[in-house]
A and B are shown apart, each in its own frame.
Chain A
Amino acid sequence: MKAAVITFPGSNCDRDLAVAFAAAGARVARVWHKDAALPPGTDVVGIPGGFSFGDYLRCGAIAARSPIARAVIDHARRGGYVLGVCNGFQVLTETGLLPGVLMRNAGLRFVCRMLDLRVETTDSAFTGGYAPGQVVTIPVAHHDGNYTADADTLARLRDQDRIAFRYVQNPNGAMDDIAGILSENRRVLGMMPHPERVIDPAQGGTDGSVLFRHLLGQLATA
């Protein structure tokens, strides 16, 4: 199972994401934003948190037009798996691989704390290791996590069971308490909370490791 973790200028969770994939048993390649191709045989791409290109213009906007983004879009269109965390989620909405947009937090404050999330669907390789409705504790750290989409998009996400996680207590004004969503083929997950920050008891929790281990297990048997 091969994972590729992208680094943009300003990414700061890339190493953590690589460690989380490796701890779950993946071989991990680190990929630079100027690379025009993913390593051959890449099964899953990780787009990390951080402040790619300084959040200039809009969060994730410049990264979404970088050379590697083209390759990630092609990978996703071929049915490849992509996990975007925090700034990675913002990048995924900017590429159009996921609908909607992450706006400035409604309270205007940077929110950095452990939060409870409800697992809203277990019908994906990312969330299949959790129990339906399970409440997991995963930290957030963002200024722009206020998920916003038009009414049709929200209805579609609900009807197609594509809301992966909801906040138990909404920290940022996100519509419908959305913390993470899936693509239509359920192989692209974007989420504001950081599962890679809770994979080892030394980090204060292990609720994130379920996501990585289940994903790797699914890919290994595929």
Chain B
Amino acid sequence: MLKARVHVMLKDGVLDPQGEAVRHALGTLGFAGVEAVRQGKVIELDLAQTDREAALAEVRAMCDRLLANTVIEKYTVEIA
């Protein structure tokens, strides 16, 4: 069995109002010098697949079809 970890992040250049709110809150707490915050998602999957290459291809297909909206999001896949 393989584990996959998917990181989904907004593409560069897409405004992230939530990240900006987090940055602002950190400043309020006294954490100075936080120049930017981008917020994303981590999705972990347990796969029955045992072939790493096949698993990678499968998870990428999952990202393209559901896990990420590639209009505004990019993703990376790690197989462990």
Q: How near does chain B come to A138, taking the closest CB pair, in angstroms?
A: 24
**In the complex, A215→B17 CA distance in Å?**
37
**In the complex, A58→B18 CA distance in Å?**
14
Q: Which residues of B contact A222 (CB under 8 A)?
A: none
| Chain B residues with a Cβ closer than 8 Å to the other chain, count | 11
Specify the chain A residue showing the minimal Cβ separation from B10. Answer: A103
Residue from the set B14, B17, B67 with the largest chain A CB neighbour count within 10 Å = B17
Q: Judging by beta carbons under 8 Å apart, are B69 and A58 in contact? A: yes
Interface string of B6-38 (1 = CB under 8 A from A): 000000001101100100000000000000000
Q: Judging by beta carbons under 8 Å apart, are A61 and B72 in contact? A: no
**In the complex, A85→B32 CA distance in Å?**
42
Binds B, one of A104-112, A129-137, A180-188, A205-213: A104-112
Q: Scan residues 18-72 of chain B and give those whose CB is less than 8 A from a CB of chain A.
A: 18, 21, 65-67, 69, 71-72
Q: Judging by beta carbons under 8 Å apart, are A57 and B66 in contact? A: yes
**In the complex, A171→B71 CA distance in Å?**
22
The 8 closest A-B pairs by CB, nearest first: A101-B71, A101-B72, A106-B17, A104-B17, A108-B21, A108-B17, A58-B69, A101-B69
Residue from the set B15, B66, B69 with the largest chain A CB neighbour count within 10 Å = B69
Residue from the set A93, A146, A149, A150 with the largest chain B CB neighbour count within 10 Å = A150
Specify the chain A residue showing the minimal Cβ separation from B14. Answer: A148
What 4 additional pairs, Cβ within 8 angstroms, besides A65-B65, A107-B17? A57-B66, A94-B69, A108-B17, A149-B71
Interface string of A80-98 (1 = CB under 8 A from B): 0000000000000110000
Residue from the set A58, A105, A146 with the largest chain B CB neighbour count within 10 Å = A58
Q: 15 pairs across A/B with beta carbons < 8 Å?
A: A58-B69, A61-B66, A61-B69, A65-B66, A99-B71, A100-B71, A101-B71, A103-B14, A103-B17, A103-B72, A106-B15, A108-B21, A146-B17, A148-B14, A148-B72
Q: Which residues of B contact A100 (CB under 8 A)?
A: 71
Count of A-B contacts with CB under 8 A? 35
**In the complex, A101→B15 CA distance in Å?**
13
Q: Which residues of A contact B14 (CB under 8 A)?
A: 103, 148
Q: Which residues of A contact B17 (CB under 8 A)?
A: 103-108, 146, 173
Q: Which residues of A contact B66 (CB under 8 A)?
A: 57, 61, 65
Specify the chain B residue showing the minimal Cβ separation from A150. Answer: B71
**In the complex, A103→B11 CA distance in Å?**
13
